[in-house]
Amino acid sequence: MTGSSYTRLTSKKLVQKEWSCALCQVSTTSENCLREHLKGKKHKDKEKELRVECHETNSTYLLSSTQKRIKGMVLIRNLNKIANILNPVSRSVRWCEWTKPEFGWTKLNTDGSINRDVASFGGLLRDYRGEPMCGFVSKVPQGDVFLVELWAIWRGLVLCGGLGIKAIWVESDSMSVVKTVNRKQHCPKAYGYLKQIWKLLKKFDKYQISHSWRETNRAADHLSKMVVWGNDVVLWPVDFPPTLCSIIKDDARGMKYLRR
């Protein structure tokens, strides 16, 4: 069976979004509503009151050297207060975490990296407990980041086939790559690479390709930037550097990362 769906792939998005006016103590459901509020008489009157209040507060200080310094601090504080209130901010807080696969599945996280000298990619295989199975680091003479991300998936699938894995969940932090592999968008320049990936996917009993946030793809990112001897190296857990081991432990215990 191919293309099987995976029931636990869509984790809850812990999202809080609010457009608010701290001056008037009101919240709205959209930016347009907030803009309408800011144009209103109630808000304009509040602005005027605040400016008058701040001016009166600053004018009460004497002009001795110490008092001048205090006055300057108060003025700066009040100006910052006005600036923060008069410039509405969309407060969007997103938390994400790396999700373990179900029993019987293996998870493959991949990532690509490009610098001036070489392009490279890496990937990590983990089991249902979040324990690492192995990782890989490869170098390629290809400067197109999209193709490098595809190569990372291809190399990981080849490695999975050699290990006898039957159910694979692939994650990449490239939304474009995920959509292309899932046949939701076209990329003629990558068709040759895609054919190889699709051919490999057919060999698994079940598979899933999904997008991950960059914050939850740190292990693959770390591997893609590792300096290793050789152009294609498979690493076993005993070979992992301490930094990578720390990332893997954080992921396995369900650490939540703040989306920026």
Q: pLDDT for 180-197, tens place per residue?
A: 999 999 999 899 999 999
CB atoms within 10 A of CB 182: 13
Q: pLDDT for 58-117, tens place per residue?
A: 444 444 444 545 555 555 566 555 555 555 554 555 899 999 999 999 999 999 998 877
106-254 fold: Nucleotidyltransferase; domain 5 (3.30.420)
Supply the pLDDT for residue 250: 97
Residue type, 202: K
Supply the pLDDT for residue 259: 83
Cα 49 to Cα 37, 53, 55, 86, 225: the distances in Å are: 17, 6, 10, 13, 55
Supply the pLDDT for residue 23: 58
- DSSP per-residue letters across 77-134: HHHHHHHHHHS--EEEEEEE---PPPTT-EEEEEEEEE-SS-EEEEEEEE-TTS-EEE
pTM of the model: 0.65
Domains of the chain by residue range = 15-94, 106-254
Supply the pLDDT for residue 20: 62
Below-50 pLDDT ranges, the chain: 1-17, 57-66, 68, 90
